Amino acid sequence: MFSQTFKLWCLAGVLIWAYDTPLLASATRIYDFNVRCRKAYQLIMAMRIREAQELIQQEQKNHPENLIPVLLDNYADFMQLFFDGSTAVYQQKLADRNTHLSLLAQGSRDSPYYLLSQAIVHFQWSLIKVKYGDRISAAWEFRRAYLMFADNQKRYPQFYPNDIFLGAIKTAIGTIPEGYRWISDILGMKGSISQGMAMLKKVIALGDDDQILFGNEAYVYYCYLLFYVERNPDAVFRFIREKNLDTKNNQLYAFMVANLAVNHHRSAYALQVLQHRNPLDYLDMPSLDFELGSIYLNGLQADSAIHYLQAFLQRTQMDYYKKDALLRLSWAYQLKGNLALAAQCRERILKEGNAIVDADKTAVLEARKKTPVDIHILRARLLSDGGYFQQALAELNSIQPNALPDYLNKLMYAYFMARIYDEMGEDEKAIPYYQATIEAGRNLPEYYAARAAWQMGMIYEKQNQPEKALYYYNLCLQMPEKEYKNSLDQWAKAGIERIKGK
């Protein structure tokens, strides 16, 4: 879920406008990232917000001249809003954002934290505003953050926190297609995947997350960008193991690792991570119910999936992923043979939540289809998503493809055969099924043909056949309007950027 929102933010960054002059500073205020503030930061990044706020209040009482607690207050607001704040809370926190920026501008302009702290606030609010549908203002926040980080880097080139945030932003800018680079150039934003990732790697090499200032964020940005932009999940999980990320006492790390594991067909591992968290005072996260529901669904454990997906729908205060959750809930009821409740869920998809992220758009398209998905294809799809490939293959092998009722089921059969063989490392068996998917679905609105083209690009990139890889990445981009369009287009652009950068 985090990953799709991150993509939306990346796309928002190619837009709009000005970079105002900061407020006049006052030398009476200081930026002291002392031991207490560092501890509060680490607690916030572990989603232990109440514990962090107690430390922030102590620091404000003992050192009212210190502005770092102001920045940390914004961090706490960001966590609440990004992971499940209501629209009412969002409107309330907008006023706090303005106060935070005004206070942070009162410190000394000679401090590297002067621009950095304000840039971080703009950066965080660019992410928040995308989630709450304020896209134009989000783009403004994004651009201002970029310019402030870049300016601070010029003034203090050895101040490594600049590189954490600027590295993430430059990587995102690097996924903008060539035809639109002129927009980012006019707006003064330049970057590439290789440049941005190199900046993050340089900082990470300085030490562990508790030794590096803003190290927790460096790790999170690095893992998600390595997974979704560089498309190197094996390196991500190797990094997680080598760094021994504390998923037991840090809920953000637990969420990240589980989320990446689910998206890498490792549902059993994701479940293990979430079940082994220590019972601490974490920020409430309904999105964890969504993750657990998806994990159980991938294992065909319909009752547990229904429990957690219903909990997510009842508890979440946001409209994102409601349609996706309802689609998954309909699949769970279909697994149980309760087609009436499955149909009710599909009707709710058309009425509840919004259709901004790709997963919710796809849920709407699925809800409008009248022909049900063959139960064996559905089971194979879910098992494949969970990483249970042999069981998924057995489901598909039980089907007579020519006997399937319509073109869509036949298309899905070819696509999921390809995906299963691909994930099992059997490229030669996967390629014919991907080619069949492309030929059958290239003029259809469903995403299968476009995804097949992208997967072919990935196979040929892995095989060091750049010309074939570029052909299929470009073919993915050329496909007509499709489900998961934003995601697939960005993945294809990143693939082209990787090949051209070598």
**DSSP state letter for 244:** T
pLDDT at residue 11 tops 70: no
What pLDDT shows up at residue 358? 85
DSSP string, 95-128: HHHHHHHHHHTTB-TTSHHHHHHHHHHHHHHHHH
What pLDDT shows up at residue 360? 93
Residues contacting 124, CB < 8 A, separation 6+: 74, 75, 78, 82
Least Cα distance to 456 among 444, 439, 438, 441 occurs for 438
How many angstroms separate the CA atoms of 495 and 457, rounded? 8
Helix (H, G, I), strand (E, B) or coil at 90: helix
Helix (H, G, I), strand (E, B) or coil at 160: coil
Q: Which domains does the chain have, with CATH numbers?
A: 2-221 (1.25.40), 286-368 (1.25.40), 376-501 (1.25.40.10)
Give the end-to-end CA distance of the chain in Å, rounded to a whole number.
30
How many angstroms separate the CA atoms of 75 and 220, rounded? 15
What pLDDT shows up at residue 1? 52
What pLDDT shows up at residue 148? 97
Mean of the pLDDT values across residues 364-392?
Answer: 93
How many angstroms separate the CA atoms of 350 and 363, rounded? 9
Q: What is the pLDDT of residues 72-115, one digit of tens each?
A: 999 999 999 999 888 899 999 999 999 999 999 999 999 999 99
Mean of the pLDDT values across residues 440-458?
Answer: 93
- Strand ranges inside 199-357, DSSP E: none
- What is the percent of the chain where pLDDT is above 70? 91
**DSSP state letter for 179:** G
What pLDDT shows up at residue 133? 85
Residues contacting 182, CB < 8 A, separation 6+: none
What pLDDT shows up at residue 184? 59
Q: Between the CA of residue 173 and those of 32, 136, 147, 179, 200, what are the distances in Å?
A: 32, 17, 13, 13, 15
Q: What is the pLDDT of residues 341-369, one digit of tens each?
A: 999 999 999 999 999 888 999 899 899 98
pLDDT at residue 17 tops 60: no
pLDDT at residue 19 tops 70: no
Least Cα distance to 127 among 9, 11, 247, 13 occurs for 9
Mean of the pLDDT values across residues 206-220?
Answer: 95
What pLDDT shows up at residue 346? 96
Q: What is the pLDDT of residues 247-293, one digit of tens each?
A: 999 999 999 999 999 999 999 999 999 999 999 999 999 999 999 99
Pick 164 or 84 by higher pLDDT: 164
Helix (H, G, I), strand (E, B) or coil at 29: strand
DSSP string, 453-493: HHHHHHHHHHTT-HHHHHHHHHHHHHS-S-TTHHHHHHHHH
Q: What is the pLDDT of residues 303-315, one digit of tens each?
A: 999 999 999 999 9
- Residue identified by tokens 């309904």 is 286
HSE at residue 339, side-chain half, CA atoms within 13 A, is 6
The whole-model pTM stands at 0.87
Specify whether the CB–CB gap between 450 and 476 falls below 8 A: yes
What pLDDT shows up at residue 178? 54
pLDDT at residue 180 tops 90: no
What pLDDT shows up at residue 186? 54
Residue 484: pLDDT band by 50, 70, 90 thresholds? confident
Q: Which two tokens stand for residue 468?
A: 């074939």
- What is the percent of the chain where pLDDT is above 90? 76
Least Cα distance to 350 among 326, 330, 331, 328 occurs for 326
Number of Cβ within a 10 Å radius of residue 154: 8
Let me know the angle formed at the C-alpha of 297 by 296 and 302, rounded to the nearest 5 degrees.
Answer: 90
